[in-house]
Amino acid sequence: MVLSRAGWEQMLMMISIISWTMASVFTLIGALHLYWLLGGKWGMHAAIPTIADRDQVLFTPGKLATSIVMLLLWLAAFWMLLLGQEWSSLLPSWLITIGGYTISATFLIRSIGDFRYLGFFKRYRQSYFARLDSRYYSPLCLMLAAATLILLLN
């Protein structure tokens, strides 16, 4: 299929919109992790898997883990702009591509889950976290994986 000049410009605009939207999502989620890192409590009960409805937390993320996740989310935001060619880079294209596939695979695996407490195929579905995971978190992760793949195939 050969694109006309107008078609090509529309495709580039769509790639730009996807790139900036993805960067914004990753930045906002990273900012939420910064809020938690600085001692904020809002939303934390909804973000950590539990066995029963808010009773038994499966793990308590420490400051180091929260910091690493925050930095990786912000790195992913930057990577979306690289994939969308919104910023020029000194990085080799193969590294940008590998990074993009890594981000896409990470979020695809997260959306599938661990077959117990998170993801589309989880067994335990009655907790507050599990309901939010089914309704919002897993679909968001699948969308992030798919949109990253779209940017990669650009």
Q: Which residue from 99, 63, 94 is spatially nearest to 78, judged by alpha carbons?
A: 99
Query: Quick check: 145 and 101 in contact, CB under 8 A?
Result: no
pLDDT single digits (tens) 111-121: 999 999 999 99
pLDDT at 26 over 90: yes
pLDDT band at 3 (very low <50, low <70, confident <90, very high): low
CA distance 4 to 19: 22
Count other Cβ atoms within 10 Å, centred on residue 147.
19
- What does the block give as tokens for 100? 């993009």
- Judged on CB neighbours under 10 Å (0-12, 13-18, 19+), 120 is middle
pLDDT single digits (tens) 67-100: 999 999 999 999 999 999 887 788 999 999 999 9
Helix (H), strand (E) at residue 142? helix 138-152
